[in-house]
Amino acid sequence: MTKTLTNSQRDELFQELKKNQQFYVMNTLKRGKKTVFANVIAKSKGRMIPNGATDEEIGMLLDDWILEDYVDAGAVSEEVKCECGRALRYQYIVRHVKTGEMRHFGMNHFEEHTGLPATIVKEVVQGFTKIDYELDELLLKMQNGSPTYDIPEGLNLPADMKEPLSLHLPLLDRQEKRLNSLIRGYREEKEALQRGSNKLKAVDIPKKVKEDVTAIEELPKEELQGSFDLFAEEVQEPLPEKTSEKPKETYFVGDLSFTTQEAIDGYIQQGTESALMICEFLIKEGKVQDKRYSTKKPKIYYAVCTYLDSFVASGSMSVEPLGREDRIYRLKSGRSS
219 conformational bin, left if phi > 0, alpha if psi -120 to 50, beta if neither: beta
**DSSP character string of 129-166:** HHHHHHHHHHHHHHHT------PPTT----HHHHHHHH
Three-state DSSP state, 92: strand
Min dist. Cβ of residue 131 to Zn ion (A): 22
* Residue 89 or 109 having the CB closest to Zn ion: 109
The CA-CA-CA angle for residues 172, 13, 5, to 5°, reads 70
CB of 272 to Zn ion, least distance (A): 36
Residues 277/50, Cβ–Cβ less than 8 Å? yes
CA nearest 185: which of 219, 226, 213, 231?
226
Least Å distance between CB 106 and Zn ion?
6
Given the DSSP bridges, would you call strands 87-96 and 326-331 parallel, antiparallel or unpaired?
Answer: unpaired
Compute the residue count for the chain.
337
Site pattern 83..112 for Zn ion (x: CB under 5 A): xx------------------------x---
Residue type, 235: V
Question: Minimum distance from CB of 86 to Zn ion (Å)?
Answer: 5
If the CB atoms of residues 89 and 168 are measured against Zn ion, the closer one turns out to be 89
Nearer to Zn ion among residue 14 and residue 92 (C-beta): 92
**Cβ proximity to Zn ion, 109 vs 284, nearer residue:** 109
User: What residues between 28 and 57 interact with Zn ion by CB under 5 A?
Assistant: none
Beta carbon nearer to Zn ion, 82 or 283: 82
How many residues lie near Zn ion (CB under 5 A)? Answer: 4
Find the binding residues for Zn ion in span 107-146 (CB under 5 A).
109
Using CB under 5 A as the binding rule, whether residue 82 contacts Zn ion is answered as: yes
The set of long-range contacts for 128-132, using a CB threshold of 8 Å and a minimum separation of 24, is: 128/33, 128/36, 130/36, 131/29, 131/32, 131/33, 131/36, 132/29
Q: 84 vs 193, which CB is nearer to Zn ion?
A: 84
- CB of residue 104 to Zn ion, shortest distance in Å: 9
- The least distance separating Zn ion from the CB of residue 70, rounded to whole angstroms, comes to 16
The residues of the shown chain that bind Zn ion, judged by CB under 5 A, are: 82-84, 109
